[in-house]
Structure 1
């Protein structure tokens, strides 16, 4: 049992050292990062399904809804 406690203490120390250098997660990502993640998939779907008019219509609708 003493071995287990010692190993756990070493693991906890290792996690603390790692956590000091790990980036913090805020739960949100920058809009440009989100756009960069979505655009390749959107382009693939447009090419596969040939729905350029549908994409333009939806983008226009979203723009109107956002007031732009």
Structure 2
């Protein structure tokens, strides 16, 4: 009996005339959105020093 009742169409929010975007974001836009929060979290938990240390170690291995 559950399949016999007709479904009502989903309603959109009142005043929302903008269609939803489908697809993917450009990678630079996604990066720009994530970097501020990632930087804040790295600074708050001391991860920034670890990243600098690892980057300098990789640079030393590569001979720079």
| TM-score under structure 1 length normalisation | 0.43
| TM-score under structure 2 length normalisation | 0.44
